[in-house]
Amino acid sequence: MIQDRNGKLYEAYYMRVFSYAMTLAKDRSQAEEITQETFFRAFSKKASFRGEADETTWLCAIAKNLFLDERRRQGKTAPIPEELPDARKGVEQAAVDRDASFRIHMALHALEEPYREVFELRIFGELSFREVGLIFGKTENWARVTYHRARLKLQERMEET
């Protein structure tokens, strides 16, 4: 019975938690480790789930805490992984895409907190404003305003470069 519930929880939320972990870690293997540890802890501590937030928010909060713990343990952040260009694209287009992607990542990296994390949760983690607000212990409206400000700041930085 418990295993069946855990399996359903895993199937229902794996991709959302993994996507969120990828936004945090920016490294596939680290994101996979965070995701696995998140579900291990969730299954171990299911009794501690108070139902104050939905399960996605609860799982993402566990993932965030795991990421922050690992980051503190390492004492540094991992570099942004290099991506291989798509072989179907021409070399020139791949260079332009890579340059644009790099500029976006640089602007996003320079964005101060909580704007960066709210933007990443909303875009890369595909979380609702309500879920983002719950992760931060704030309101849905706070998440909307913070996301909007983050977008404006990113646009300004992109126009400057």
**Could you write out the DSSP letters of every residue in 12-43?**
HHHHHHHHHHHHHH--HHHHHHHHHHHHHHHH
We report the CATH number of the domain holding residue 5 as 1.10.1740.10
**Owning domain of residue 156:** 92-161
Give Dmax (Cα) for the chain: 57
Last residue of a domain, one of 44, 75, 106: 75
In terms of domains, do 144 and 103 share one? yes
Q: Examine residue 80 and state whether it is found in any structural domain, yes or no.
A: no
Q: Examine residue 132 and state whether it is found in any structural domain, yes or no.
A: yes
Q: Examine residue 103 and state whether it is found in any structural domain, yes or no.
A: yes
Q: Which two tokens stand for residue 12?
A: 């229902």
117 touches 82 (CB < 8 A): no
Interval 33-90: pLDDT, tens: 998 888 888 887 654 555 566 778 888 888 888 888 888 887 754 443 444 334 444 5
In terms of domains, do 62 and 126 share one? no
Quick check: 99 pLDDT over 80?
A: no
pLDDT of residue 78: 46
Which of 42-46, 54-58, 95-99, 150-154 has the lowest average pLDDT?
Answer: 95-99
Interval 82-91: pLDDT, tens: 443 344 445 4
In terms of domains, do 99 and 32 share one? no
Question: What integer best gives the mean pLDDT of the chain?
Answer: 76
In terms of domains, do 39 and 99 share one? no
Q: Examine residue 106 and state whether it is found in any structural domain, yes or no.
A: yes
pLDDT of residue 29: 85
In terms of domains, do 1 and 43 share one? yes
